[in-house]
Structure formats: structure tokens, C-alpha cells
Amino acid sequence: MDITAVRRDARAPGGETTALRLLWLLPAQLPCRAVRVEPDRVRLRFEVDAAAAREAVGRALADTALRGWAQE
């Protein structure tokens, strides 16, 4: 299952910083890896069902450090 986060605010940190923050904020037991990192887009690949992956990314993106980013 792939989930993509996109930058909605040009003032938000770039993709590289966001990818690291996302991976840090996701639960450790959630198998995930970054498969593509661009300045305005980060694609993550999960080894779990879609609902669990979307929920985890949604919680991570709610962190103030990721303000300006959203799930696509």
C-alpha cells in the first residue's frame, strides 16, 4: 500500500526533512519505507492494510512539525 504526502504550503519543510519526520512519527511496529522523495511529495510504502496506513499517516501529519503537508 502506497500513501503520498504532498506539500500544500511553500513555507513548509521540503520533502527530505518531511520524509524523515514522517518515518520518525509513525509507529515502530508499522512496516514502512520511503520509496520516493521529491521537494513537494513523499511516497511511503506500507506492508499493512490501507486503513491502518492512512490512519497512521494522518496522525503523523497532524504533528505541528509537518504543518503544510497533507495526504494526497
Euclidean distance between the first and final Cα of the chain, in Å?
13
The reported pTM is 0.90
- Looking at residue 35, what is its pLDDT? 94
- Per-residue pLDDT, 49: 87
pLDDT of res. 46: 95
* Element holding 5 (H helix, E strand): strand 2-7
User: The dihedral of CA 39, 24, 62, 29: what is its sign?
Assistant: positive
**What does the pLDDT look like over 4-60, one tens digit per residue?**
999 999 999 999 999 999 999 999 989 999 999 999 999 999 998 899 999 999 999
